[in-house]
Every structure is written in C-alpha cells, then in structure tokens.
Chain A
Amino acid sequence: MATKTISLTVNGQEHSCDVEPRLLLVHLLRDMLDLTGTHIGCDTSHCGACTVLLDDRSVKSCTLLAVQANGKSIKTIEAMAEGGQMHPLQECFKEHHGLQCGFCTPGMIMRAAELLERNPSPTEEDIRWGISGNLCRCTGYVNIVKAIQHAADKMQQQEAAA
C-alpha cells in the first residue's frame, strides 16, 4: 500500500515517518517509535488506555490516523517525568495507590494532565466526569480520584512557590 511521509514532534523529538494512510496513531507510537507506554484496550474508543496529548489536548490515539498528526506535537507518558523527577500526577498515583495492574494508568495520567491544565482545582465530581472516558477495571476509581486531587494541590503549591 502506498505510504505518505509525515513529520511530527514526539516528546520533544522530531520524527519523519513513512506511513500507510490507514495507520493508527497508536500503532505509529508503539510499533514504529517503540513508545509502548501508550496502551490499547479496546477497538471502539471507549477505554482511553491509548490517551496521549496532541498539541496539549488529550486524544485517544487509537481514534486518530497517524497522518492526522502530521505537523503536530505529541506527548506520551514516557515524557511526563523530567530530569529524573516524576510528574506530580505520577507521584500522587503512587502515593495514593491509584494504580494496580498499570494498564490504564498511562492513559489515565495523560487525561488527568489535560484536565488539571484546564481546571487546576477540580471538585471530586469534576474529576469523575473528567476521567469518564478512561476505564479502569482494578481500582474502583476512588484512589485515582484522590491521586488527581492531591496532584492538583501539589501543582498549585509548586506554582505558588515558583
């Protein structure tokens, strides 16, 4: 099948890739760029395990074609920690036991990252609705909600200190 050349920035690094027009963005990330932290949990865009940031908006990368990401910037879970320091969301997920099998976690964190970007002090209800496009089968969400609340506090404190 004919391929198309696309350029995109992934986790700050520029890539030029020859892709089939039908290639899903998630497969580009996982299979061509070896960024396997982004997972696939369904085939109908419901589980959110494949959530990444596309130009700072959380998107389900199984629902986008790689060619739709041409010229855009993508951030995945692999780039959330900086300089060996985990992101407050990552720290709080650990601190509050917001993960068990870990399979939904990267997507959940990327979704939460955008949520907190847009709403730095969400209520419990804001968080529950905010992550309602991401399924978790292990945790029952209580500790995920708690982790996101605490991450919000932590990020605000960090901002105030800066």
Chain B
Amino acid sequence: MAPRTSAKICGMGHSMKRKEDARFLQGKGNYVDDIKLPGMLFMDIVRSPFAYATIKSINTEAATAIPGVLAVITGETLAQYNLHWMPTLMSDTQMVLPTDTVMYQSQEVAAVIATDRYSAADGVEAVEVEYEPMQAMVTPFQSMEPGAPVLRTDKEGKTDNLAWHWEHGDREGTDQAFANADIVVREKMHIPRIHVASIETCGCVADFDPVQGQLTVYMTTQAPHAIRTVLALVAGHVGLSEERIRVVSPDIGGGFGGKVPVYPGYVCAIAASVVIGKPVKWIEDRSENLQADSFARDYHMDCELAASNEGKIQALRIKTVADYGYTDAAANPSKFPAGLFSICTGSYDMETAFTEMDAVYTNKPPGGVAYRCSFRVTEAVHAIERMVDVLAQQLGRDPAELRFQNFIQPDQFPYQSPMGWEYDSGNYGAALEKAMALVGYDELRKEQAEKRANGEFMGIGIASFTEIVGAGPSQTFDILGIKMFDSCELRIHPTGKAIARFGTKSQGQGHETTYAQIIAEELGIPALHIQVEEGDTDTAPYGLGTYASRSTPTAGAAAAKAARKVLDKARKIAAHLLEVSEEDLEWEPGVFTVKGAPDRSTTIQDIAFAAYTNHPQGMEAGLEAVHYYDPPNLTFPFGSYICVVDIDKGTGQIHIRRFVAVDDCGNIINPMIVQGQVHGGLTQGLAPAMYESLIYDEEGNILNGTFMDYLVPTAVETPHWETAHTITPSPHHPLGAKGVGESATVGAPPAIVNAVVDALSPLGITHMEIPITPPQVWEILNDHGVAE
C-alpha cells in the first residue's frame, strides 16, 4: 500500500530509519547501569544454594567487617518495616527477603550494601547462612500427590499446593461433541520453562533524598507508571507517597515481558536507599537473572481434538497442569487466571471447546511472565497448531488442505469464538496461500516424496496462528485495579515542531520513530520534527506500559486520537486565518486549503505559530491534547508460517532449509521495523523449539543457569528468515493496526515442530516435545534402524 504522506513527512507506511539509533550506535545509550550518581553505593545479593530449606541463622559479622561493606539487609531487617513480603501482580504474595524459609534455589536471602561493586561481592561471600534443607517439590505432579508437604504455609488454612483451578468454555457441550465424534486425536505436550534472557539483565538505582522525602528510582521496567503506584501502595506505611515517587525507565536493553514484575532486588535497593539516605545501585549478574527472575511457560497440556471423518474440526478440549513455581507472579493483567489461553481454538471454526487448568506451586522460581506473548497465547497456539497436524496425519490429509477446510472464513468476521472472543478481522486463507506460494509448497511436497522414496528425511511444517493482543478493554483487563488504557500527550510548539509523551516504554521496538510517524500521518508534521518521550513518571502521562504487543493497539491509537484533537483545534485556527468557515476547508496532511480556491491555504506550521500569536478571540492559546485510549476490543493479528527441514541421519541434526513467515498485523506503520520485529520474534520462537529450556534436577538445582549452558541461539543456529505480509486492517483501531511484536514468537515453534514431525512421520512419529535436540532425533532414527 503506497504511503499517503510524502517521504519528507514520513507518515505511516514509510520505512523511516530509526530516530533512536544514533545514540545506540555511538555508545551513548543511557541504560540503568550507565547511571552514576554522587555518593552512589552498590548492592549485591546473597542467594540460597538450596531449593527448599529452613534458615537456621544468618551471621553478618564477617561481612560487615570487610572494608567498604556498610550494611547487610536481611528479612528480619525488612520485617521491622513490614516490607519483607510484597504482593505479586496476580494478587498472590512473594517474599522480598525470607525470615525463616527459602522456597527456590537462588532465592534472595540477604542484601549487602557497600561502597563499590567488588566490596559488595566480597560481602556476599562473607555472609554465613546456616540452612536445614528439606525435600524440594520440583514438578507440579510431585506437588499434587496426596500427602505432599504444603509449600505455602504462609497462607492460612492452605492444605495443598494448588494455587488455583480455572475452567473456561462449555464442558458439557464439549464432552458431548467428543462422545459423538468420528475421530478423536490426543497428544500430551509440555511447553518447557524458559527465560526471556534479554541481553541487559535487571537492575536499578534507587535514590532517596531524605531532605525532600523524594524517591527517584531508575529501573529496568516495562511499566514505570504502574510500578510507581505499586510502590506507593505497598510502601505508603513507611512514608513513600505517590507524589514524591519518581520512576524513570531509561533505555532498556530488551524486556520481552521479563521486566514487568517487581523483583526483590528492586525493593531491597529502595529500602537501602531510604534507610541510608544515599543512592544505591543494584545490577544483577546473568546467572542471577536466569536462575531467579521470573520464568515463562511451563505448561503440561493434555490436548484432544474431535473431528468428522471428512476432516471437519468439531471440538477442542485441553487440560493443563501449570507449574507456577513458589508463587503466582505472572504478569497477566486480565480477569482470567490463565490470561488469554482461551484463544486456543485458534484460526479454526469449531462448535465448542473447553479448557481447564490446575496452577500448582513448586520449589522453583516464581512466574510466569508473558515472554513475548500476550499472556499464555504461545502455549495455546502450540496446542492447536500441533493438534491440527496430528489430526491431518491421522486422516492422511495434507496439513495445508485440512487448515483451508477448517479456517474461519473472511465473511465470518467479526467472529464469535466458542470461548467467547470476538475476533476483529482476518483472512487466514490468503496468508497461507501466500506462504505456500513463496515457499513453493507443491514442489516441496514432490521433492519430499522423492526423498522419502530414497530413505531421506525432509519435513514441511505449517503453523497458521491467530494471536490476541492489545490489552485491553478495561472491563476485563487491569493491574491491581488500574485499567489497561494507554496514553499520549501531544504538544505542538510555536515553530510547528512537537513533543509527544506516552505511558508506554520501548525496549527496542522503536517507539521514538513509529509514534512520530503516527502523528506525522495525522498532522503532516515531519516525523523528524516530533520528539517522543516515554518512561519518566514525572513527565509522561499515566499508562500501563509496553508488553503483550499493546503499544500500537493502545498508545498508538492514543497518539492518533490526540493528534485528531489537535487537528480539530487547528481547523478552527485555520478558518480564522483564512477567514472562512470550518466547513469550507479541505485537509491533506500538513495543509488546510479553502475548497475551490487552491491558492488559499495555510500549513500546520502556520497554524501552530498562530496558536500562540494570533488565535481567535475567546480561544485558549496553545496547541496540545492528551488522550487516554481504552480499546473497545482486543486485536487479532495472524499469520501463516512454513518451515522446511532436512534431517541428518548421522547426527540427528535438524537443518532449517527455509522458513517463510507471512504476517498480518493490519495496517503497517513502519515496514522496516515490523520486519525487524518478526525476525526477532522468529528467533525467540526457534529458541524454545530447538535450544532453550531451564532444567532442574530432583533436588531443585538448576542445571543450566548461565549462558554457558542455557543456549540462546547465535547467528550460526539462526536461519535466514524470509518474511512477507498480507494486510487485513482492524476495524476498531483508529489506524487499522493490530500490533506485531509477538506474533512470530508464538507462531514459530509449532511450525518447526510440525516440520520435524513431518520429516519423521514415515517412522510413525506423531509428536515431539520441545526443545527438539539432535540426540532426541538420532535416538528415533536409531530405534528404527535408519541412523547412519
């Protein structure tokens, strides 16, 4: 689609180069660890070597005797201020520091404050903690066994390890459909525990000014405003009042959902700064980040699909056991305990569906964060996209053909899903057709048939996912009661330049560029002349932050709406300047012209100047607006991905030969940035499909808690991604946009698994658990006597 604005204005549809890049490219970014304040102290954390243990004693004498070590904070210290526990975003509770029991390995036990990093680390080494280990509950199945010790003894009356049970959909109708179905297919699948592993870890600089009673916290957070309110709510009793709390989220080195929660380290640093009256910096190591910060996924799903002999999908049933670790610290601001998992009917029109879930406590770190996915959508999409392939295999049907047969059709939108969602728009067949054409599907199937005849293993895997993003309509989405709107405050300066501030926070998504392009599209002010700011709660309008692909659906919409308010006033000023009525004016981005008199016009820059120098009598001076956007519905981006793999019979190695991703995120603001988001998302989908999972032994010891053995893909493992688009605008979003940040992370894993299973299907393989590793593949080949 050709852009409506010129390259000079650079509105929507232009691949504008990013405005934020200059500082990042020259080492002038400003990340939390780059902040250096006068008199700043450093904090380091003592962590538990045991997954479950009673703390018998903590001896800090040797630590405080070290030159440079100023103090050691323990749970007992915090308990004096009633700050040793805090709420999670899911209204569960979490220890800041323990007073008697540790619940997972690497849990924070004490915090050492020192004059420099090295002395703080020395202090950590010198703190002596005596533990009495207990038998850890490492899997949710252990935790749920009758007679298993109750982990959350802090919860009065708790008699088991069930965090919650949740049901959604039509149980009876679904049971009935399964009872009457010609065919039922079933697979159990585990979506393993993984970690966002942003290259920047978490940290903060807490700076309490005891004279003014003002707290400033520079921190790695995706949601600075919500954090400020949470701080005011949990620490109000010790004198922290919201008007004297400033949270600043500077440049963020990747977030992916992992920088939504409040970690104990932040609270300890704040407490230390308040008590000592000096700035305190805390920056976690990579090992601490992987071992203690919130995990993602960890769903054990039992999936069933019912269909007719002709391949019509009729019903879906999923029973899940979810491992939440020691507390439900999910970052899921919805009214639904399992977030948006009920999108699990996916792109397919079926009569009925039902899902139920047991969320279980274990002795593992808490979570789970919505890692680059909109609250459990990754798990849901994996389930349905795998099951459709399982059904195709059972029926002996081509998986593409079976998908076409069952897709929700374009004329069915807005579509009411059996789980109660109203899908806004979609054209699933078009996306799959495009992907098939790009990859050369028919030729590949022919090649595959030839290869199979020669005993070679080649696979083609499809995923045709539907996402659900843009949280959200305020009746169903909030954080501790705060509705999930987002905001834009837009000011036009007298010279026609502008500043726009937002309640969201970029972590690499390019907001400084894309938001400017939205305003440029609406007002015709060149995007280069629009300064975008986020992340400082003292200056930005209140908003809920950036995660769940919500920035474009919410704050992007707010930008358009704020710009339209500005334009309404601009029109009045233009009428005044041109001495005509508003109805006599025509607008094209940047210019009002008198209808029928093309030589009589005024630019947005002229109007801006007049707003401060020559505005109509009785009108307020200035040209600015603020908008808080509460979306009427979620948006439903979708896409079809096709992965082609070749299997090495000697090593079990999986070679991804091609990967074609066709995404539909509605109208596109910046094609270059959208493509970059898809590339990154695909790589974060490849990671759990083939490389990453957090592994624990039966004592609850993490076995791969560093980058040495937690295998983040490098450029060598990552294939050359091929991307394309279809465009189906959202009918309810002011720009027709849907959000794209997470689609690829969600869609890639089942495409890869489906390809590998397809390759091995001649051996009778119907399912493989992720991450699929060469030894796993080789074992299958070897068992069937075809390994070389």
Could you tell me which A residues sit within 8 Å of B by CB distance?
A: 20, 22-23, 27, 30-31, 34-44, 46-47, 49, 76-78, 80-81, 86, 90, 93-95, 97, 99-106, 109, 124, 127-129, 131-145
Contacts and interface: CB of A to CB of B under 8 A. Distances in A.
B523 to A, nearest CB: 25
Contact of B715 (A99, A106, A145): A145
Interface stretch (B231-239, B247-255, B576-584, B623-631): B247-255
B715 A100 contact: no
Range class of the B interface residue count: 35 or more
Contacts of A124: 720
Contacts of A137: 196-199, 254, 256, 680, 683-684, 712
Contacts of A127: 715
Contact of A77 (B27, B33, B200, B683): B27
B365 to A, nearest CB: 18
Given A49-B199, A90-B26, A131-B715, A102 B707 contact: no
Contacts of A145: 715, 720
A144 to B, nearest CB: 7
Interface in B39-85: none
Interface stretch (B16-24, B176-184, B536-544, B650-658): B16-24
Interface stretch (B141-149, B444-452, B503-511): B503-511
B437 interface: no
Contact of A128 (B33, B252, B253, B715): B715
B718 interface: yes
Interface in B241-288: 251-254, 256, 283, 285-287
Contacts of B718: 128, 140-142
B715 A144 contact: yes
Interface in B706-757: 706-708, 712, 714-716, 718, 720-721
Contacts of A20: 118
Contacts of B509: 100
Contacts of B24: 99, 101-102, 105
Contacts of B196: 137
Interface in B490-510: 507-510
A97 B252 CA distance: 17
Interface stretch (B153-161, B341-349, B600-608, B671-679): B671-679
Please provide the 7 A-B residue pairs with the shortest distance between their CB atoms, ordered closest to farther.
A37-B27, A102-B24, A103-B253, A101-B508, A140-B679, A100-B508, A140-B683
Contacts, number: 180
Contact of B253 (A97, A101, A131, A133): A101
A100 to B, nearest CB: 4
B679 A39 contact: no
Contacts of B26: 37, 77-78, 80-81, 86, 90
Given A39-B31, A90-B26, A106-B27, A139 B714 contact: no
Contacts of A99: 21, 24-25
Nearest to A142: B679
B470 to A, nearest CB: 20
A97 to B, nearest CB: 5
Interface in B111-129: 117-118
B680 A100 contact: yes
A138 B287 contact: no
A128 B683 CA distance: 14
Residue of A47, A95, A140 with highest tally of chain B CB at under 10 A: A140
A145 B682 CA distance: 16
Contacts of A86: 25-26
A65 to B, nearest CB: 12
Interface in B1-46: 17-18, 20-29, 31, 33-34, 36
B679 A143 contact: yes
A136 B199 contact: yes
Residue of A38, A101, A134, A142 with highest tally of chain B CB at under 10 A: A101
Nearest to A94: B21
Contact of A41 (B199, B673, B715): B199
A47 B200 CA distance: 10
B714 A138 contact: no
A86 B17 CA distance: 15
A37 B199 CA distance: 14
Given A132-B714, A138-B508, A140-B718, A104 B679 contact: no
Given A77-B25, A105-B24, A141-B715, 17 more contacts: A35-B27, A36-B27, A36-B31, A39-B199, A39-B253, A44-B707, A77-B26, A81-B26, A86-B26, A93-B25, A100-B254, A132-B715, A134-B714, A135-B707, A139-B676, A139-B680, A141-B714
Contact of B200 (A22, A41, A134, A143): A41
A147 B675 CA distance: 15
Contacts of A34: 36
Contact of A90 (B25, B201, B721): B25
Given A46-B708, A102-B253, A141 B27 contact: no
B717 to A, nearest CB: 9
Nearest to A37: B27
B36 A105 contact: no
B677 to A, nearest CB: 8
B25 A97 contact: no
Contact of B286 (A23, A30, A47, A103): A47
Contacts of B712: 135, 137
A141 B22 CA distance: 19
A136 B684 CA distance: 11
B285 to A, nearest CB: 5
12 contacts: A20-B118, A42-B286, A44-B287, A76-B27, A81-B26, A100-B676, A102-B24, A128-B716, A132-B716, A135-B714, A136-B199, A145-B715
A109 to B, nearest CB: 7
A43 B706 contact: yes
Contacts of B707: 42, 44, 46-47, 135
B274 to A, nearest CB: 25
Contact of B201 (A41, A76, A139): A41
B254 A39 contact: no
A58 to B, nearest CB: 15
A127 B714 CA distance: 12
A22 B680 CA distance: 37
Given A77-B27, A103-B200, A137-B198, A97 B672 contact: yes
A141 B17 CA distance: 18
Contacts of B18: 94, 97
Contacts of B27: 35-38, 76-78, 106
Nearest to B25: A90
Contacts of A129: 715-716
A101 B198 contact: yes
A126 B559 CA distance: 43
A105 B252 CA distance: 13
Contacts of A133: 714
B199 A101 contact: yes
B702 to A, nearest CB: 14
B682 A140 contact: yes
A101 B200 contact: yes
Residue of A94, A136, A138 with highest tally of chain B CB at under 10 A: A138
B361 to A, nearest CB: 29
Contacts of A36: 27, 31, 33-34
A137 B784 CA distance: 37
A1 B135 CA distance: 41
A103 B25 contact: no
Nearest to B68: A1
A79 B458 CA distance: 48
Nearest to A80: B26
